[in-house]
């Protein structure tokens, strides 16, 4: 079978048919690109924080190091009008995670946004990249570089330091900051944990970097043993799935500071790891507990 080089989707197909590549020999490439990936950030340092920034945290950023480029690049939660990336006027590139995706693989979509931003000029905004011409984050990033998340109180990072902002823009930034859910990253021995304060409650969300089915079994063992809390005043609410990972959620005492749950998370993690290592089948009590956990699926708020 003749192999044709990959070109832009709107360019003429190299086979000489006269049709655009995406309507000719690019069809197969497009289908391959659109393959769904349930756990898109697997293999990246800080996988759980990638998931949290995409699904939980209102405003945050983390620097990443590219393998073959020296540009300063930050992964951020959200950008204006949900654009894919922003090439700031000072040359810094911001790439959003809370952006509509279309390839079925968030890693490929974000990677494509980085590639597009690298080809842009300072001041440019980048829309959704063509999934046929994208590359996954696992190929773009230096996987030895840590992914350290900085939770922010607003979206001032959209602009370069010292950049003059109009009164309208400054007011918009203030309104966005005032409407955000207060969020704090809690130090956790595994995965990534975030404390979130809503008007009527505070919750702790713990993103687990464990196979979902194994995590459910371990949580079921803890629940059946009555060891499934984050201390006095806490209540397990349920769990949700995000990018292939399980995220259990507890309602906690609103008067207690976010950092106060680090000790409880450490203790719960120790018990969770012990439960994870148990290989005997679940008991009838544990199976009932597992069914209860599965049945209490939450939706993001």
DSSP 10-53: TSBPTTSSSSBGGGTTHHHHHHHHT---SSTTTTSTTHHHHHHH
Q: What is the pLDDT of residues 56-68, one digit of tens each?
A: 999 999 999 999 8
Q: What is the pLDDT of residues 33-52, one digit of tens each?
A: 468 899 999 999 999 999 99
Do both 102 and 145 map to the same domain? yes
Q: What is the pLDDT of residues 188-224, one digit of tens each?
A: 999 999 999 999 899 999 999 999 999 999 999 999 9
Do both 262 and 153 map to the same domain? no
In a domain, 39, yes or no: no
Domain region containing 286: 182-295
Give the C-alpha separation, 76 to 156, whole Å: 12
Do both 166 and 71 map to the same domain? yes
Number of folded domains in the chain?
A: 3
Do both 168 and 281 map to the same domain? no
CA geometry: angle 157, 124, 168, nearest 5 deg: 55
State yes or no: pLDDT of 100 exceeds 50. Answer: yes
What mean pLDDT is reported for the chain? 89
In a domain, 27, yes or no: yes
State yes or no: pLDDT of 28 exceeds 80. Answer: no
In a domain, 165, yes or no: yes
Q: Tokens for 228?
A: 């499934």
State yes or no: pLDDT of 3 exceeds 50. Answer: no
Do both 139 and 219 map to the same domain? no
Do both 96 and 194 map to the same domain? no
Do both 113 and 218 map to the same domain? no
| pTM of the predicted structure, to 2 decimals | 0.86
Q: How far is CA 218 from the centre of its chain?
A: 24
The domain spanning residue 194 has which CATH number?
Answer: 3.30.200
Do both 91 and 75 map to the same domain? yes
Of residues 54 and 6, more confidently modeled: 54
Do both 22 and 79 map to the same domain? no
Give the C-alpha separation, 62 to 102, whole Å: 23
Q: What is the model's pLDDT at position 8? A: 52
- DSSP assignment of 194-259 equals EEEE-SS-EEEEEEB-S-HHHHHHHHHHHHHTT---SSTT-EEEEEEEETTEEEEEEEE-TTS-GG
Do both 248 and 210 map to the same domain? yes
Do both 52 and 141 map to the same domain? yes
In a domain, 300, yes or no: no
């Amino acid at each position: 079978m003749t192999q044709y080089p990959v070109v832009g989707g709107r360019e003429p197909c190299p086979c000489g048919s006269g049709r655009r590549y995406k309507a000719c020999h690019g069809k197969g490439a497009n289908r391959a690109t659109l393959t769904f990936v349930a756990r898109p950030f697997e293999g990246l340092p800080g996988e759980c924080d990638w998931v949290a920034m995409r699904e939980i945290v209102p405003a945050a950023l983390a620097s990443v190091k590219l393998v073959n480029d020296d540009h300063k690049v930050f992964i951020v939660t959200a950008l204006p009008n949900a654009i894919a990336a922003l090439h700031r006027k000072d040359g810094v590139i911001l790439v959003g995670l809370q952006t509509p995706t279309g390839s079925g693989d968030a890693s490929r979509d974000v990677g494509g946004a980085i590639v597009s931003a690298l080809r842009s000029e300072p001041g440019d905004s980048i829309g959704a990249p063509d999934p046929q011409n994208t590359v996954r984050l696992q190929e773009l990033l230096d996987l030895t570089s840590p992914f350290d998340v900085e939770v922010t109180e607003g979206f001032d990072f959209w602009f370069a330091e010292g950049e003059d902002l109009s009164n309208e823009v400054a007011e918009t930034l203030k309104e966005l900051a005032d409407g955000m859910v207060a969020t704090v990253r809690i130090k956790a021995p595994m995965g990534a944990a975030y404390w979130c304060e809503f008007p009527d409650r505070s919750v702790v969300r713990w993103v687990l970097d464990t196979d979902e089915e194994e995590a459910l079994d371990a949580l079921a063992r803890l629940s059946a043993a009555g060891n499934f809390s984050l201390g006095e005043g806490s209540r397990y609410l349920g769990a949700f799935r995000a990018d292939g990972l399980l995220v259990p959620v507890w309602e906690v005492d609103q008067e207690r500071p976010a950092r106060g749950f680090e000790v409880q998370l450490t203790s719960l993690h120790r018990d969770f790891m012990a439960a994870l290592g148990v290989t005997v089948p679940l008991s009838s009590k544990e199976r009932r507990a597992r069914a209860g956990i599965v049945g209490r699926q939450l939706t993001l708020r």
